[in-house]
Chain A
Amino acid sequence: MKYIPVMVQRLASSRRSVYLIFISAAAIILGIPVPPPAISATERYIRVEASMYRFSPEQIFVSPGERVTIELVATDVKHGLYLDDYGLSLEAEPGQPARETFVATRPGVYRLRCSVPCGNLHPFMLGKLQIGPNLALLRGSLLGAMAIIIALFPRSAPQMSRQKHFPNGTD
Chain B
Amino acid sequence: MGQFLPALPEIVLAVCSLALLIAGAFGGEKSTRSISYLALFALIVVAVLVLRQPDATTVVAFNGLFKSDAFGRIFKILILIGSGLSILLSMDWLEREKIARPEYPVLVLLATLGMLAMVSANDLLSLYVGLELQSLSLYVLAAFQRDTVKSSEAGLKYFVLGALSSGLLLWGTSLVYGFSGTTQFDRLAAVFATGPASVGVIIGLVFVAAGIAFKVSAVPFHMWTPDVYEGAPTPVTALFAMAPKVAAMGLFVRVLVGPFGHLLLEWRQIILFASVASMLLGSFAAIAQKNVKRLMAYSSIANVGYALLGLASGGLAGVQGVIIYMAIYVFMTAGSFGVILAMRRNGAAAENLDDLAGLGRSRPGLAIAMLIFMFALAGIPPLAGFWGKYYVFIAAIHAGDIAQAADANLLYAAAVIGVLTSAVAAFYYLRIVKIMYFDEPAPALDASPGRAVEAVVLVSVLVMLVVGALPTTLIDASIRAAKTLLTV
| Chain B associates with chain A | no
Chain B interfacial positions (CB closer than 8 Å to A): none
